[in-house]
Structure 1
Amino acid sequence: MREGVLDPSGWRLWRSQDEMKDLVKTGVWENRTTWQDAVAFAQSDPDGVAIWFDDGSELTYRQGCEEAITLAASLKELSLRKGDVVSATLPNWREMAIINLACCALGLVINPIIPIYRDREVGFILKDAGSRLLFTPGGTGSFDYLAMAARIAAKTPSLEHIVTVRPGESESATLSYAELIEKGNPEQFEAAEVDPSHVKLLMYTSGTTGIPKGVLHSHNTLRRSAANSREARGVGEGDITLMASPVTHVTGYSSLEQAFNSPIKTALMSRWDKAAAIDFINRTGATLTVGATPFLKELLDEAEARGTGLPSLRQFACGGAEVSPQLIVRAHETLDNCRCFRVFGSTEVPLVTQGYLRPEHANLAAETDGRIYNYDVRIVDADGRDVAPGEEGEILARGPSMFLGYTDWQETMKAVDGNGYFHTGDLVRAGPEGSIVVSGRLKDLIIRGGENLSAKEIEDVLSLHPAIQEAAVVSMPDPRLGEGVCAFLVLQADCPAPSVGELSQFVRQQGLAPQKAPARIEVISKFPMTASGKIQKNVLRERIREII
């Protein structure tokens, strides 16, 4: 494995300088930043809407740039400089779009953190990222984000600033977003000279070891991923993407980017609600959307209940969880003009496949996970040999929109081989006309509504419970979310089994997101084991499928 190129932010990247220069020279990488395009849009179409929000508000190109300049001026006064990491644990709010633009303008690395995460996850991420500033809700619902931020800051030397966003801001907070906007002096703003090949996004994804992995992307890799979709699907001027996925996921984050660096605009939902989604699509004329299986199913339920075929909607890319062929067929029967299709990708390799759009390919859209587009793919067996056509194997992928590496160089070396292929851990079979069908995964992950949950991370926390001798966490079928969390438990002698409610409370107390708590418990006397002493989780998965 190569030694890796050192990025100005301090991380090692797997591509060589010569490779990156060639991608720019040949035009495969556009070599532009989102800030450059945002400024161009603000000059050519200042009052054009870039993003619609589901609270009825809008953000124009001029408003986005002007507020981002003010925020950037304040961030610069806080001594933030090119290459520093700025974290944000925010929902799909207007402020997140501005924060992203300001980071782009200054060459800062933006680190979106999933808002459901709690002390354990957020604390690890901030420390691993070396974050200097954290944007956090001032007070949302029943959870005190500011108190969590204060607890974490006391253990995180790099974290110098906590900035609260929206009402509920505490007097104890040293800074608020509103203050930064009020005090920022646009005359002191000066955009940084940013190399589009340097790291600009740091996004964490669940790892099979229980430790989140920090995925590194540049302007160039992300722009190439977006360009892949535009080229493959024939979308662009006049299109509007309904986005309900969190902007703290690579799918949702792309909606913040595309609103200012492409002709496609965004209709951003702060949270998923099927009734609100129908109204929002009709109000904005949204033409595109990308979402996990629950979004599509519930959208169809609501559309059928209202007797609408959502005529403006043209494409629905569905992925992130198991998608049944019947759901795609139903979508084509329910929606007037929309082609629905399955896609496959990850944070490391965004959208390896694109969908089948032609009506004559409806069976491929329903029965495969899309066609490979602008990726070089291998399907290999356990020994790394290419499998015969139609046989199951792990899919390896490499391409110009592939990530630059992990924050942990050792993890990069494990995941990216000497030929530049990323080992996805997903099992697939090659299908007709360049398609693939996902059949399983090597990784010990649970995909709950498109969210990757590490079984190991949950098991480590459950093992701390005094009544539990050993825990094995597996996925179980969930009619809404695709997969749920099931915990098989071997109990300590003479200890009663904890209830689902008790375990849920325990998981929260240990600092994990509540979504990671087991939704079902199965007590077992001993685990089925392999000859080498490993728990046979495939047996446990099959057992829970038979029970439910």
Structure 2
Amino acid sequence: MRKIPAELTERYAAEGWWTEETVGDLLTRGLAAAPDTEFRVHSAARPWEGTFRDVEAVARRLAGGLRERGVGPGDAVAFQLPNWMEAAAVFWASALLGAAVVPIVHFYGRKEVGYILDTVRPRVFVTAERFGRLEFRPDLCADVPVVGVVGRDFDALLGDEPLTESLPADPTAPALIAFTSGTTRDPKGVVHSHRTLGHETRQLAASYPPDRGRQLTAAPVGHFIGMVNAFLIPVLDGTPVHLTDVWDPAGALRLMREHQLHIGGGAPYYVTSLLDHPDFTAEHLRYLRYAGLGGSSVPAAVTTRLAGLGIRVFRAYGSTEHPSITSSRHDAPEPKRLFTDGTALPGVEIRLAEDGEILSRGPDLCLGYTDPALTARAFDEDGWYRTGDLGALDEDGYLTITGRKADLIIRGGENISALEVEEVLLAMPGVAEAAVVAAPDARLGEHAAGFLRMLPGHPLPGLDAMRAHFERAGLARQKWPEELHQVAEFPRTASGKVQKFRLRQDIAVGT
């Protein structure tokens, strides 16, 4: 793990950012305070409804059963499940045991799951027999001592005697190992302690609007932000949990209307896919009161569109490694909310390197990666994390993300920001989403290639129409895309980010 300077450790403890409370302690306290809070899964495959008390009963019996099998503090418990009740039970049980939970996104395939299990060597693996692309493969977990499959033998893991209290654990020890594919090929194992995860939960909960309504969580609970929003913040706040195991805009719109559920934001795709759906009506706007956007780049074209509909937009910036770096408050001045990614959150520090790369550190910054080489490259001895993102700070300390170092297109020696080009493409009629990547160029090394998802009934614009649009926008000619491709859907990470390396691969093979 990375070296954390003693000065930072002392400061975070003195300021109350880091406490001696474990995640198990947080859950025990929160569940006892609001046991009758609603917990519901909206699913065609495995619907469920009950209360926190009901889920806690399963979690404590599971913890008791795993304890009988020798699982305890310091062990790893992995699960690959959709947004089902059993995912909450496994997560809560792991925390009560003081184990490190390893959530795996339910649509990860054989290669990713095999890599994660081989890296972590968990004592326990819980999964589903089949769901979408998820398929139980006994060969992948042949070396895992305890395996449970929901719908088949999961109940056999439940002990007769529930674990009544959370087991003592070191708050500095790993509580979570979250694997994120990001925009790279191999998943990266990000390690968070009880202290970093606890601070993130409290900080994120405090940043949400108090009148945000009953939230629908569609982000996969196998991903960091979906997990925190589904299984930790509601327990801290005593607010209902409503999960859905697939992202279907039509289904989400129906749930919003039938159950008065709100969509609070996330990656822009989650919100725009609702607005673009033919079933969307003005009635749904009452359940889109706020849109806290993050998880991927947030185009100004999206924020201004939402604001024009009366939705109060605010942006945030973070990653699995450092979940909450900056955010605009929901009551900040509109230009700051719409066009910047906010200011540093309490306890967090940011600065820009000479090349514009954002460096951050704070009490919710992870301990490092499961791969020591990645840890050595990403963190320095003073506790700063090299985010790989490029940004600019205004006179009020508001940060604006300008791109990723990996997203720079170097055309004839000149740097082009993919984000800048994407903003212009999004302003074209009929364009729902845009992504720009570097394409090989025999003369100039690289040039910009645009990928567009069009709204229904709108054809892909021709290059001449695109050039005329960029001419009117006033963008320098060398930044204009030199090829356009249409996609029905973008390849995405669990948080909704477009996997640009796959778009570059498509160009390389000529598809």
Contact 1:221/1:403 (8 A) holds in 2: yes
Letter in structure 1 aligned against 2:135: Y
What do the CA deviations read for 1:91-122 (whole angstroms, capped 9, x no partner)?
A: 11111111110001001111011222222211
Q: 1:14 to 1:444 in 2, by over 3 A?
A: farther
Aligned to 1:86: 77
Counterpart of 1:251 (choices 193, 203, 225) is 225
Q: 1:404 to 1:310 in 2, by over 3 A?
A: same
Aligned to 1:180: 157
Letter in structure 1 aligned against 2:405: L
Aligned to 1:342: 315
Letter in structure 2 aligned against 1:200: A
Q: 1:25 to 1:330 in 2, by over 3 A?
A: same
The structural deviation recorded for 1:131 is 1.5
Contact 2:24/2:98 (8 A) holds in 1: no
Contact 1:84/1:109 (8 A) holds in 2: yes
Distance (whole Å) between structure 2 residues aligned to residue 205 and residue 130 of structure 1? 17
Distance (whole Å) between structure 1 residues aligned to residue 53 and residue 130 of structure 2? 29
Aligned to 2:104: 113
Q: 1:146 to 1:288 in 2, by over 3 A?
A: closer
Distance (whole Å) between structure 1 residues aligned to residue 185 and residue 162 of structure 2? 46
Distance (whole Å) between structure 2 residues aligned to residue 144 and residue 232 of structure 1? 34
Aligned to 2:148: 163
Aligned to 2:380: 417
The structural deviation recorded for 1:394 is 0.2
Distance (whole Å) between structure 1 residues aligned to residue 3 and residue 240 of structure 2? 33
What do the CA deviations read for 1:121-140 (whole angstroms, capped 9, x no partner)?
A: 11111111121221111122
Quick one: percent identity of the two aligned structures?
A: 28
Q: 1:368 to 1:16 in 2, by over 3 A?
A: closer
Q: 1:178 to 1:310 in 2, by over 3 A?
A: farther
Query: How well do the aligned residues superpose, as a CA RMSD in angstroms?
Result: 3.5
Matched, 1:62 2:53: yes
Q: 1:32 to 1:265 in 2, by over 3 A?
A: farther
Counterpart of 2:87 (choices 90, 96, 99) is 96
Aligned to 1:153: 141
Aligned to 2:24: 35
- Structure 1 gaps of 5+ residues are 1-11, 170-175, 383-392, 448-454, 456-471, 482-499, 501-513, 526-543
Contact 2:81/2:87 (8 A) holds in 1: yes
Counterpart of 1:377 (choices 347, 350, 361) is 350
Structure 2 residue matching 1:426: 3-state secondary structure: strand
Distance (whole Å) between structure 1 residues aligned to residue 177 and residue 365 of structure 2? 14
Aligned to 1:53: 41
Distance (whole Å) between structure 2 residues aligned to residue 297 and residue 222 of structure 1? 30
Distance (whole Å) between structure 1 residues aligned to residue 141 and residue 203 of structure 2? 39
Contact 1:74/1:185 (8 A) holds in 2: yes
- Structure 2 gaps of 5+ residues are 409-417, 420-436, 438-445, 456-485, 487-498
TM-score with structure 2 length normalisation?
0.75
Distance (whole Å) between structure 1 residues aligned to residue 204 and residue 105 of structure 2? 24
What aligned pairs does 1:425-464 form with structure 2 within 5 A after superposition? 425-443=388-406
Counterpart of 2:266 (choices 285, 291, 302) is 291
The structural deviation recorded for 1:264 is 4.1
Contact 1:53/1:267 (8 A) holds in 2: yes
Distance (whole Å) between structure 1 residues aligned to residue 280 and residue 393 of structure 2? 38
Letter in structure 2 aligned against 1:414: R
Q: 1:299 to 1:90 in 2, by over 3 A?
A: same
Distance (whole Å) between structure 2 residues aligned to residue 209 and residue 38 of structure 1? 33
Distance (whole Å) between structure 2 residues aligned to residue 205 and residue 187 of structure 1? 33
Aligned to 1:467: none
Structure 2 residue matching 1:414: 3-state secondary structure: helix
Aligned to 1:140: 131
The structural deviation recorded for 1:164 is 0.7
Q: 1:198 to 1:20 in 2, by over 3 A?
A: farther
Contact 2:304/2:338 (8 A) holds in 1: yes
What aligned pairs does 1:488-527 form with structure 2 within 5 A after superposition? 521-522=506-507
Letter in structure 2 aligned against 1:226: T
Matched, 1:23 2:12: yes
Letter in structure 2 aligned against 1:341: F
Aligned to 1:262: 237
Distance (whole Å) between structure 1 residues aligned to residue 503 and residue 174 of structure 2? 36
Distance (whole Å) between structure 1 residues aligned to residue 376 and residue 504 of structure 2? 35
